[in-house]
Amino acid sequence: MYANRYDHSRASRPVSAGAALLINGALIAGLMFAAPEIIPDDKPDIFTGTAVPIDPPPDPEPQPEKKRIAKTPTARPLHQPEPRVPTPPTGPVLGATRDPVPPSYDPPVGPSGAGTVVIDPPPPPVLVDATVDSRYAGSFQPDYPGPELRQEKEGLVKVRVLIGVDGRIKAIEQLASPTPGFFETTRRHALSKWRFRPATRDGIPVESWKVMTVRFRITT
Q: What is the pLDDT of residue 159?
A: 97
Contacts of 117 (CB under 8 A, 6+ apart): 107, 108, 110
Count of beta carbons in the 10 Å neighbourhood of residue 186: 25
Q: Is residue 30 pLDDT above 60, yes or no?
A: no
Residue 95 has pLDDT above 70, yes or no: no
Give how far Cα 185 sits from Cα of 57, 180, 188, 216, Å.
145, 9, 6, 11
pLDDT of amino acid 120? 87
Structural contact between residues 190 and 159, judged by C-beta atoms closer than 8 angstroms: yes
SS3 199: strand
Instruction: Delineate the domains of the chain, giving CATH numbers in brackets.
Output: 133-216 (3.30.2420.10)
Q: 19: number of CA atoms within 13 Å, CB side? A: 5
**Interval 99-105 mean pLDDT:** 58
Asked if residue 70 has pLDDT above 70, the reply is no
Distance CA 37, CA 29 (A): 15
Determine phi and psi for 139, rounding to 5 degrees: -110, 20
Residue 1, number of CB atoms within 10 A of its CB: 4
pLDDT, residue 64, reads 64
The residue with greater pLDDT, 182 or 32, is 182
